[in-house]
């Protein structure tokens, strides 16, 4: 029950099959318990990442809210419709997702991004949030698998995409990649990304928050090494 009170259901139109489907949205007033150094936020008694991905209950299309509410290019619609409208994929609507259902939502969303050769930055975001869901559930093996994917997608985005993407700057992504590699125990890669940020005077001046976070992670890593 507690979970349902934190969410509400709205109806939207699916860009793929054009039918009306139901979406669970999260109320914005959630109590933050803590934030991990790689941006995963923990809330009291609730995990909003379970609902990041919308799924159309009729055709099975899955993506984040931005994708559903922004015009999808025609060439992508053609590819997605060719797959979704012929396969009769039905994903039943649920008001409270289980870990399995949330994970399926992310996996489907990643699969559709592959189909349309979608942006690495978006794949990174999905993989990263899926890792966070496993982190909360205490499944370290799956968490690490998706953290590694997220890092690789973020690195691809750094090479191929132009930043900022929304509010995400390239330095913010470099920081995230460093934080992920540190979690995965790859100190060498983490250090090389962090040193880029710390030694860059421009980051210190223009993005002091990123600079400070990089310094904090650097000193946490040194403290951990001493132990
Ligand atoms: Zn649909």
177-187: pLDDT as tens digits:
999 999 999 99
pLDDT of residue 3: 52
Q: What is the pTM of this model?
A: 0.95
Distance 131 CA to ligand 1 centre (A): 26
Q: What is the pLDDT of residue 225?
A: 87
Cβ within 8 Å of residue 85, ≥6 positions away: 16, 17, 59
Residue 6 has pLDDT above 60, yes or no: yes
Cis before residue 113, ω within 30 degrees of 0? no
pLDDT score for 88: 82
Q: Does the pLDDT value for residue 204 go beyond 90?
A: yes
pLDDT at site 4: 54
Which of 170, 174, 177 has the alpha carbon at shortest distance from 152?
177
Among the ranges given (1-10, 80-89, 200-209), the one the predictor scored with the smallest mean pLDDT:
1-10
Which residues touch 157 (CB under 8 Å, ≥6 apart)? 119, 120, 121, 124, 165, 173
Q: Identify residues whose C-beta is under 5 A from ligand 1, the ion.
A: 14, 16-17, 56, 58-59, 61
Sorted by sequence, the CB contacts under 8 Å of residue 103 that are 6+ apart come out as: 130, 133, 134
Residue 192's pLDDT is 96
User: How far, in Å, from the CA of 15 to the mean position of ligand 1?
Assistant: 7
| Portion of the chain with pLDDT greater than 90, in percent | 90
CA of 2 to the centre of ligand 1 (A): 29
């Amino acid at each position: 029950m507690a979970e349902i009170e934190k969410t509400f259901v709205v109806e939207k139109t699916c860009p793929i099959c054009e039918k009306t489907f139901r979406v669970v949205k999260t109320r914005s007033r959630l109590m933050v318990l803590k934030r991990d150094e790689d941006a995963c936020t923990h809330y009291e008694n609730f995990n909003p990442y379970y609902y990041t991905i919308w799924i159309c209950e009729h055709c099975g299309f899955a993506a984040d809210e931005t994708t559903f509410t922004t015009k999808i290019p025609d060439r992508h619609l053609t590819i997605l419709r060719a797959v979704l409208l012929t396969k009769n994929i039905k994903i039943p609507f649920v008001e409270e997702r289980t870990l399995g259902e949330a994970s399926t939502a992310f996996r489907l969303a990643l699969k559709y991004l592959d189909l349309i050769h979608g942006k690495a930055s978006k794949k990174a975001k999905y993989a990263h949030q899926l890792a966070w869901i496993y982190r909360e559930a205490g499944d370290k093996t799956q968490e690490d698998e998706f953290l590694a994917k997220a890092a690789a997608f973020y690195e691809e985005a750094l090479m191929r995409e132009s930043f900022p993407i929304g509010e995400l700057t390239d330095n913010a992504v470099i920081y995230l990649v460093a934080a992920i590699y540190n979690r995965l125990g790859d100190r060498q890669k983490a250090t090389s990304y962090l040193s880029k940020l710390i030694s860059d005077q421009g980051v210190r001046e223009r993005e002091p928050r990123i600079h400070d976070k990089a310094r904090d992670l650097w000193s946490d890593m040194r403290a951990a090494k001493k132990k």
